[in-house]
Every structure is written in structure tokens, then in C-alpha cells.
């Protein structure tokens, strides 16, 4: 029982800023209908203006604004009705001085008109004559041909995952496919003599099913990646190095879920050191201290702590941003957060980032209360029960009950 | 140009509480690997305890705690090393009084031992003899067989979408498939003489591509639903009624993206009234007033306003919760939010919920600033440019610049 560890420890902030591999996934075209959440590789620009024609924004009458000046309830302007504009078609009517045309919301402003009076401020008291009781300015009630989008304007920017309204704007512009970064392939390599596949029906004493791999696959999918199970290898440096070599050759990111014993961790560290450059071994983070970040022939690698809860905390903090960056995402979507009052004192060591799992309950007055979940960090049930986590920053030596905290919610 | 509308208006709050169709989708088994975000139809319980055996949480020595009482740096306890426990296997060693066994993190506590001393508080100064310099209490350094999960305990609850850690816990328990609600099929029916499919290359004057359907499909997917395009029908009550009947027969929810003109809205209202019960027609909401909620032979229906931005605001507020509820979700995940200071005055009418699109920028001091995006509500580009929205509640008559607001972020 030797092998006490000497960490070249870094803070989480240092890792987020300093460990930024250059690798990006290839670019591929996807149909609009499959583009939600995907990251455009380049700005997509409009090749025509939108809406493309002067369009009424109200139901009413297309007029020459000058014909309405001075109109009031007491002294309306009287205009001759020249006809009506139909939806979806070019107008067959022209508006000349003293005349108007009926127009529905969304229809094309007819030639000669420069404004639309809302139907609420009109009355058709005699057939063919429209009373207007409010003046309108030129442009009122009208969207100009390029008000929504001008030619050459950016419809959606590179680097930000596509959201539902983006898909609408692209559809409006007739864009049917988008060039996006491929989903990063993330290899999950599990290690440990005690670890068996999750579909193992009966365990013998001392075996545990691979919980971390399934949970990691979920986080990878949420981050826009494509998880690939690279198997379970025993605590043996040769076997590990061979499995790592295979995984590195087929993935954009390799995640090693290390065995929990110090021996397993040492073997992982030795195998990784032999294959690439270790950026850090050890984080000023609890849980999650025995974390390794490395780059092997251009493929980033994260060595996670052995216990599932720690592994997931680390992957959430460091792995998720990395998966996004591999997909070209430089404007990641914000994590859901809620402000809450801390329900009890929380001790913490200075110089270390503490990630504390909490439940969040809403009090009758609408404020939220965050209750820390304590327990050995090895317990997965703690994580499954938690609504989110809060972070005690490095300089703090703990938080008092009643402190206003921000809880990052488990999506 | 007749047909001014008489709304039976409701507030958004009333609609969320009062319009709650009973319909739920069928239950289907899915493999664990495809279960992220799906909603379990029933609590999933453990049929065996986890971890299932007394497990060491540290690297060290398994001991009888009583053998360590009084141990200190100056006066260590000396224990005979009886052997070592291997990872993943039943121990072959037994701990009797005065003896100990080397044990790695995660291994099985051997018979006779009731605690584990961390390696940091030991020294193997002579082969076969271990010095212990700190006393441990019974249970120290050990997770009991049912500490993580007891037999019969709920692994994941019904009604809450599965998150990544849930998948880990289910994997640990050997659960390989989960019974979840099917994804609700949501039919999107677009109407309007001016609307043409989004893949239309060249538009004639007055035509617009169907932007709303593509954006709605994105929101439906985010909510866990399965969007089905039910086509575009012209502003004709007969055609609309026929298309609605088809859509209602094949979907769990029908969304009608109405034409923008008052005529199109009237025809939608008439067609829906003929097929089912209208729960409300009109919301005290801006944008989004001309919204219709109905139920037709057990299938809920949402009639959306004609302009894309309004339609998406309404669907986000009312449609997304409805899709989730159809999938059995009674504990929806929280929307991402951020607190920000309002950058300028925001007028609003009392008695109406105002949804205002904003951009959010982070100032150097870490506080966020919400800048309202103004412009005709018909502009899709406003929504695509917005980072999120804020809500001015019904009683308020506006918000002053500098007010602390909560922005719901566009995911």
C-alpha cells in the first residue's frame, strides 16, 4: 500500500482557461429539421431581404398618409374604396390621391400607398366610401421589404447552437440545409477490476456495475456529443495503454473513468503519460481532486476520479465545455440556474472549489431554499436526488445559513 | 373588412391552471441508453441493495475499530498484517483481534473488520506489521451494503424527465430498460393563403415561407415531443376543417399556426368550434392575444396567433408545458434563467402579461444587463437575436430602468 500521490494541482478556473485543445470536428451539412442544437460552422447570411415586400402589419386600409392628415372623430377624412388586396398575391389595385384599398394583416402594400390605417379607426358608412378618424404617418402599419432581414445580414451566427427561433428565421429565408460541426465522438473507457457491464444480471461479491459510463453518456448527449462505449479494462497498464490507443484513434475526446483504488489511478496516469502530454494531474476541487487533463496526438483526454459522483461533477464542469468547444461552440447556452437561500451552514476549505449537491424547494412566498445533501461522495443516489449544485469558490472558507446562493440545476 | 373580434379572454395563469387535458401518451419500454429526457410512467424501485456489500471508501487498512482506540503518533497501535483484499473479488482474508488487512478504495470489507484506517494514518515500518496513529470509530471509512440504495427504494420517480445521474443510478442497479411515456405526437397545421413551404426556392410577391412550423418543431422537440407537419391549408373553412379532422385523428396535440389576417383567424375559430369545445379565445398577453385553446374529442388544440414571434411566445408559455404533461411529466425541468438589470424603462398595460424579448450582456463586474428589443411583433429576427425574454406581470404598468428582473433564456 504505497503510492501516495503528488498532484500538480490546478484550479477549475485555470483548467477552463488554460486547457483549450485546438481540435474541432469536421463540417457537415444537415437538413434544417435536424439542426436544432447543432453549431453552424460559419455565419449564415440572407441572400434576399425579408419579408421581401412592403407588408401590412394590421387589418385596415392602405392609404396615402397625406390623405389622413387632420382626420378626427369630428372631422373624418373620406376616401374612395378602390378595391381590396388579397393575401399572398400581388395587388391588382393602385392607391391614388383620395382613394384607399382594404388590406389584411400580412398582405402586400399596393402601389401608391405609404401607410395602413387600422380598421378600428375607420368606418365604411356608405358602400365604396371609407371614413378615417385618425391620421397616420408615412410607414405606419407597414413593415418595409428589408425590415426583418436585409440582404447579406447574418441570419444565424457561427459558434452558437441553433435554437428554435433560428430554425424559423432560416426557414423564412428558404435555407433548407445548414453546415454545422459534426457531433464530437466521445470515447468512454472504464477501468477497474471491480467494474462489470451495467447489463450484468447477477453480481458476485465485490463487483459493481458500470454506472459512470451510462451517466457520462447522458451528459455527453446533452452537450451535443456522440458517446461511444470503449469498454471496461482491468487495472493493468498494458491493457489500459492498448485500449487507450484504440480509443484515441477513433474519437475526438477520450474520457477515462478510472478505477477507484490508488493503484488504478496510478496505472491510468502512467498509461496516459506514455501516450501524450499531461496538462494537469489534480484539481483544487471537491469532489474531483484526482482529475487528469492531457492531450495525446491532438486528442484531448480527461481522466476522471474513480467514484461516480466525483466523476460526474468533474465532467459537468470541464467535460461539457470541452465537448461543446470541439463542436465549434464558442457561445455555449447558459445552464439553468435558480437563486436560493442556503438552509444551513456549509464548511469549506479555502483554496479549493467545493461543489455541493442540493435539493431546492420553493417556499410559499416564492423564494427558494437550497438544502445541502451530505453523505459519502461515493453515493450515486445523492446525485440522483439532487436538484442541482452550488459552488463554494476557492477563497471562501464556507457559507453561512441564509446566504443567497446560485444553484446550477441538473437539466 | 368586418369581423372585429370579441374575445373570451383569460390570463396566462388561468390557462396554465385551468386548461389541463386528461390525455396521456401510451407507455413503452426504452433501453437505458435512449432514456435521457424521457419520463418514467411509474417509480422504478431497487430489487437489490446498493452497493450490495460493505465497501471501503478509502485506501488503507481494514481493522477492528476497538484495536485502534487510543492510538496516536506518540503511541501507535501495532497490528499484524493478515493479508490484502483484492478489487472486485470476495476477500480471502479474515480480520481477527490484533490484525488488519490492506484494502483499496471500493473493495469488500473483510469478515471481522468494522472500519478502515486511511493509509495516511498508518505506516508499514516492518514487513508484516502496521502502525496505526489515529483511532477510528466502527463504520469509519466504510459504506454499508444498503447505504446508497435500500431494497425497494425509489431509484427514479415517475413524472420527472430522466437526467444523466438517473441513468447512472439505474445502470448501477442493473436496470437496462425503463417504461416511459411515448413522445407526444404534435401535429403542426399551418394556414394562410400567403404561406408556402419553407423549401420554396423563389417567392412570388406576397408569399411568405412557413417560418412558424420549423420553429415550432424545434420547441416541440425541446419539450420531448415528436413534431408532425400536417401541411399548409388555405384560408377556407372547409379545407381547414378537413385538415383539422385528419390531424386530430393522428396526434396527441394539434397546433394550428393561423394565418395572420382577421379572416384567417375567424375561419380557424369557426372550424375549431365545429369540432370541439373552445376553452378560451383570447389571452391577456402581449404578444399573443389571439390565442385559442380547445379540446376536440380528447385531443387538445392550440390555435396560435398569425405572426411567428407571437406564435412562438405563446407556444413557449402554454404549448411546452402541455407537451410535457401529455408525456406524463408533472415535474418539468426548470427553464434557464438569469437575473439582470433592466437597461431602460419598459411601458406596459395593467391587466395584461407582457413578454418582452431582450438581449443579455454581462458587465465587467459580473452583473447582467437586459436590453429590450423593440420592433413590430411580426419580426422573426427580433426573436432570433434575443437571448431570452422577461415577463411584466399583469398588475404592473411597466418597469423602470434599473429594476432587477429575471430573464428566461432561450435554451
Instruction: Identify the burial level of B194 via C-beta atoms within 10 angstroms of its C-beta, where 0-12 means exposed, 13-18 middle and 19 or more buried.
Output: buried
For chains A and B, CB pairs below 8 A equal 342
Residue A355: name the closest of A322, A303, A294, A309 by CA.
A309
List strand residue ranges (DSSP E) for B8-89, in order.
27-31, 44-45, 55-56, 60-63, 77-84
Shared domain check, A295 and A199: yes
Kindly report, residue by residue over A49-108, the tens digit of the pLDDT.
999 999 999 999 999 999 999 999 999 999 999 999 999 999 999 999 999 999 999 999
Q: What is the pLDDT of residues B63-88, one digit of tens each?
A: 999 999 999 999 999 999 999 999 99
Mean per-residue pLDDT of chain B: 92
Q: Can you read off the three cell numbers belonging to residue A130?
A: 371609407
The Cα angle at residue B365 between residues B364 and B367, in degrees rounded to 5: 100
**Three-class secondary structure of residue B311 per DSSP:** helix
Q: How far is B355 from chain A (nearest CA, A)?
A: 15
Q: Do B381 and A149 touch (CB under 8 A)?
A: yes
CATH number at residue B34: 3.90.105.10
Judged against a pLDDT cut of 80, whether residue B8 lies above it is answered with no
C-alpha cell of residue A377 = 461522495
Phi, psi of B328 (to 5 degrees): 80, 10
Cβ distance B192 to A52 less than 8 Å, yes or no, reads no
Q: What's the whole-number mean pLDDT along residues B163-178?
A: 96
Does B402 lie in the same domain as B357? yes
pLDDT for A348: 86
Contact A105 B262 (CB under 8 A): yes
* pLDDT of A359 over the 60 cut: yes
How many Cβ atoms are within 10 Å of B362's Cβ, its own excluded?
Answer: 11
Question: Is B1 part of a structural domain of the chain?
Answer: no
Q: Please check whether residues B251 and B204 belong to one and the same domain.
A: yes
For residue B215, which residues of chain A lie inside 8 Å, CB to CB? 164-165, 167-169, 171
Last residue of a domain, one of A326, A357, A390: A326
* Contact residues on chain B for A337, CB-CB shorter than 8 A: 336-338
B293 and B357 inside one domain: no
A294-327 CB burial, b ≥16 within 10 A, e <16: bbbeebbbbbbbbbbbbbbbbbbbbbbbbbbbbb
Q: Which three cell numbers stand for residue A68?
A: 389622413
B213 chain-A contacts, CB cut-off 8 A: 171
3-state helix, strand, coil in chain B (%, to 5): 20, 35, 45
Give the pLDDT mean for A103-128.
96
Q: What is the predicted pLDDT for the residue at A268?
A: 87
Domain count, chain A: 4
Which cell numbers in the block locate residue B274? 365545429
pLDDT, tens digit, 9 for 90 and up, residues A32-54: 999 999 999 999 999 999 999 99
pLDDT of residue B378: 61
SS3 at position B240: helix
The per-residue pLDDT for A375 is: 66
| Per-residue pLDDT tens digits for B77-123 | 999 999 999 999 999 999 999 999 999 999 999 999 999 999 999 99
Alpha carbon distance A59, A285 (integer Å): 61
Q: For residue A5, is pLDDT > 80?
A: no
Count CB neighbours of B26 within 10 A. Answer: 8
Nearest to A105 among B87, B164, B260 (CB): B260
Burial B236-275 (b: 16+ CB within 10 A, else e): eeeebbebbeebbeebbbbbbbbbbbbbbbbbbbebbeeb
Asked whether residue A74 is domain-assigned, the answer is yes
Tell me which residue of A142, A194, A177, A210 sits closest to A380, measured CA to CA.
Answer: A210
Query: Residues of B58-88 as b/e, b for ≥16 C-beta within 10 angstroms?
Result: bbbbbbbbebbeebeeeebbebebbebbbbb
CA distance A347 to B378: 52
Quick one: average pLDDT of A380-395?
A: 89
Q: Does the pLDDT of residue B364 top 90, yes or no?
A: no
Q: How many other CB atoms sit within 10 Å of the CB of residue B210? A: 25
Does the structure show a pLDDT above 60 at B394?
Answer: yes
- In a domain, residue A3? The reply is no
Nearest Cα residue to B178 out of B43, B49, B51, B52? B43
Cβ contact A373:A357 at 8 Å:
yes
Rg over alpha carbons for chain A, rounded to the nearest Å, is: 31
If one compares A350 and A256, the residue with the highest pLDDT of the two is: A256
Q: What is the pLDDT of residue A377?
A: 56
Collapse the DSSP code of A398 into the 3-class scheme (helix H, G, I; strand E, B; otherwise coil) and give the result: strand
* pLDDT of residue B348 exceeding 80: yes
* Best residue in B31, B54, B87, B339 for a mutation probing chain A (most A CBs within 10 Å): B87
Query: From CA A114, how far away is CA B275, in angstroms rounded?
Result: 41
Judgement on whether residues B153 and B67 belong to the same structural domain of the protein: no
User: In this predicted model, what pLDDT tens digit does every residue of A163-180 receive, in sequence order?
Assistant: 999 999 999 999 999 999
Residue B164 CB partners (closer than 8 Å, separation 6+): A215, A216, A217, A218, A219, A222, A312, A410, B36
| pLDDT given for residue A74 in this prediction | 95
A7: in domain: no
Contact B380 A199 (CB under 8 A): no
ipTM for this prediction:
0.93
Both B258 and B377 in one domain: the answer is: no
pLDDT one-digit tens code per residue, B249-293: 999 999 999 776 677 778 888 999 999 999 998 999 988 888 999
Interhelix angle for B164-172 vs A211-222, to 10°?
160
> pLDDT category, A376, cuts 50, 70, 90?
low
pLDDT at position A378 is 60
Q: By residue range, what is the domain housing residue B100?
A: 55-143
DSSP assigned state of B73: S
Residues A191 and A310 in one domain: yes
Strands (E), A32-150: 44-45, 55-56, 60-63, 77-84, 99-103, 115-118, 122-126, 129-132, 142-143
Same-domain pairing of A317 and A257: yes
Q: Does B331 reside within a domain?
A: no
pLDDT over 70 (residue A1): no
Quickly list H helices, B186-228. Answer: 211-222
> How distant is the Cα of B298 from the closest Cα of chain A, in angstroms?
28
Encode pLDDT of B195-228 as tens digits: 999 999 999 999 999 999 999 999 999 999 999 9
Local confidence band at A363 (pLDDT 50, 70, 90 cut-offs): confident
Determine the residue of chain A that is closest to B229 in CA distance: A33
Kindly state whether residues A127 and A161 are assigned to the same domain.
Answer: no
Q: In A52-83, which positions are buried (b, 16+ CB within 10 angstroms) versus exposed (e)?
A: bbbbbbbbbbbbbbebbeebeeeebbebebbb
> What is the C-alpha to C-alpha distance for residues A184 and A204, in angstroms, rounded to an integer?
36
pLDDT at B377: 56
- Work out the average pLDDT over B185-203: 96
Residues of B in contact with A38 (CB under 8 A): none
Q: B12 vs chain A: nearest CA distance in angstroms?
A: 18
Cβ neighbours for A210, distance < 8 A, ≥ 6 positions apart = A190, A195, A196, A197, A198, A232, A257, B171
- Single out the residue in A298, A326, A354 at which a domain terminates: A326
For residue A84, what is the domain's CATH number?
Answer: 2.170.190.11
The SS3 assignment for A333 reads coil
Over 50: is that where the pLDDT of A6 sits? no
User: B6 lies in a domain?
Assistant: no
Nearest to A194 among B60, B106, B375 (CB): B106
Task: Report which of A409, A379, A323, A377 is spatially closest to residue A211, judged by C-alpha positions.
Answer: A379
Percentage of the residues of chain B whose pLDDT score is greater than 90: 78
Run of H or E including A285? strand A285-286
List all residues 6 or more positions away from A281 whose beta carbon is below 8 Å from its beta carbon.
A7, A8, A9, A269, A290, A291, A292, A293, A303
Q: How close B167 gets to chain A, by Cα (Å)?
A: 5
Decide if B385 is inside a domain. yes
- The residue behind cell 379572416 is B263
What's the Cα-to-Cα distance from A87 to each of A147, A240, B218, rounded to whole Å? 19, 68, 27
B182 pLDDT higher than 90: yes
Q: How far apart, in whole angstroms, are the C-alpha atoms of residue A406 and residue A390?
A: 6
Return the CATH number at B188: 3.40.980.10
Phi, psi of A364, rounded to the nearest 5 degrees: -55, -30
Beta bridge partners of B185: B226
> CATH number for the domain including A405?
2.40.340.10
What Cα–Cα distance (Å) separates residue A189 from each residue in A265, A303, A410, B135, B236? 13, 10, 24, 38, 59
pLDDT value, residue B4: 39
**Whose grid coordinates read 402599419?**
A141
Indicate whether B77 and B137 sit together in one domain: yes
Q: Are residues A265 and A343 in the same domain?
A: no
Q: Are B278 and B265 in contact (CB under 8 A)?
A: no
Q: Do B203 and A52 touch (CB under 8 A)?
A: yes
Residues 6+ apart with CB under 8 A from B317: B12, B16, B285, B288, B355
Domain end (from B306, B326, B346): B326
Contacts of A177 (CB under 8 A, 6+ apart): A29, A30, A31, A32
Lowest mean pLDDT, pick from A233-242, B138-147, B175-184, B252-261: B252-261
Largest CA distance in chain B: 101
Indicate the pairing of strand B292-296 with strand B388-392.
Answer: unpaired
Cβ distance of B106 and A218 shorter than 8 Å:
no
pLDDT for res B236: 87
Q: Largest Cα–Cα distance in chain A?
A: 101
Q: Please indicate, yes or no, whether residues A280 and A358 belong to a single structural domain of this protein.
A: no
Residue A223 domain-assigned?
yes
pLDDT score at B3: 35
The DSSP H or E segment spanning B275 is: helix B262-275
Going from the C-alpha of A95 to that of each of A5, A114, A124, B244, the distances in angstroms are 85, 9, 17, 38
Query: Is A4 buried (19+), middle (13-18) or exposed (0-12) by CB count in 10 A?
Result: exposed
Cα–Cα dist A389/A354, whole Å: 10
A319 Cβ partners below 8 Å, 6+ apart?
A216, A219, A220, A223, A253, A255, A302
Amino acid at each position: 500500500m504505497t503510492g501516495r500521490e503528488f498532484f500538480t494541482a490546478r484550479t477549475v478556473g485555470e483548467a477552463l482557461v488554460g486547457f483549450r485543445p485546438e481540435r474541432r470536428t469536421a463540417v457537415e451539412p444537415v437538413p434544417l429539421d435536424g439542426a436544432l442544437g447543432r453549431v453552424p460552422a460559419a455565419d449564415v447570411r440572407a441572400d434576399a431581404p425579408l419579408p421581401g415586400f412592403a407588408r401590412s402589419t394590421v387589418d385596415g386600409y392602405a392609404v396615402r398618409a397625406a390623405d389622413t392628415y387632420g382626420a378626427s372623430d369630428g372631422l373624418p377624412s373620406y376616401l374612395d374604396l378602390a378595391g381590396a388586396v388579397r393575401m399572398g398575391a400581388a395587388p391588382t389595385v393602385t392607391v391614388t390621391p383620395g382613394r384607399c384599398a382594404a388590406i389584411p394583416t400580412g398582405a402586400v402594400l399596393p402601389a401608391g400607398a405609404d401607410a395602413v390605417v387600422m380598421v378600428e379607426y375607420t368606418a365604411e358608412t356608405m358602400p365604396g366610401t371609407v371614413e378615417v378618424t385618425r391620421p397616420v404617418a408615412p410607414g405606419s402599419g407597414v413593415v418595409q421589404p428589408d425590415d426583418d432581414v436585409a440582404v447579406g445580414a447574418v441570419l444565424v451566427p457561427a459558434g452558437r447552437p441553433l435554437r428554435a427561433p433560428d430554425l424559423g428565421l432560416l426557414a423564412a429565408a428558404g435555407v433548407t440545409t445548414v453546415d454545422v460541426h459534426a457531433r464530437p465522438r466521445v470515447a468512454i473507457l472504464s477501468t477497474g477490476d471491480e467494474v462489470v457491464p451495467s447489463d450484468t444480471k447477477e453480481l458476485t461479491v465485490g463487483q459493481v456495475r458500470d454506472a459512470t459510463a451510462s451517466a457520462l453518456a447522458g451528459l455527453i448527449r446533452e452537450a451535443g456529443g456522440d458517446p461511444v462505449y470503449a469498454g471496461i479494462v482491468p487495472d493493468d497498464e498494458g491493457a489500459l495503454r492498448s485500449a487507450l490507443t484504440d480509443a484515441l484513434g477513433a474519437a475526438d475526446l477520450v474520457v477515462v473513468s478510472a478505477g477507484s483504488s490508488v493503484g488504478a489511478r496510478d496505472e491510468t496516469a502512467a498509461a496516459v503519460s506514455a501516450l501524450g502530454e499531461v496538462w494537469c494531474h489534480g484539481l483544487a476541487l471537491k469532489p474531483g481532486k484526482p482529475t487528469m487533463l492531457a492531450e495525446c496526438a491532438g486528442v484531448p483526454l480527461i481522466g476522471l476520479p474513480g467514484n461516480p459522483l466525483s466523476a460526474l461533477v468533474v465532467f459537468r464542469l470541464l467535460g461539457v465545455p470541452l465537448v461543446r468547444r470541439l463542436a465549434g461552440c464558442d457561445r455555449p447556452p447558459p445552464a439553468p440556474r435558480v437563486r436560493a437561500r442556503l438552509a444551513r451552514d456549509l464548511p469549506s476549505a479555502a483554496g479549493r472549489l467545493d461543489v455541493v449537491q442540493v435539493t431546492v424547494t420553493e417556499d410559499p412566498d416564492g423564494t427558494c431554499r437550497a438544502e445541502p445533501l451530505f453523505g459519502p461522495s461515493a453515493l450515486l443516489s445523492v446525485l440522483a436526488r439532487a436538484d442541482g449544485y452550488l459552488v463554494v469558490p476557492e477563497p471562501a472558507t464556507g457559507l453561512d445559513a441564509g446566504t443567497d446562493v446560485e444553484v446550477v440545476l441538473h437539466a
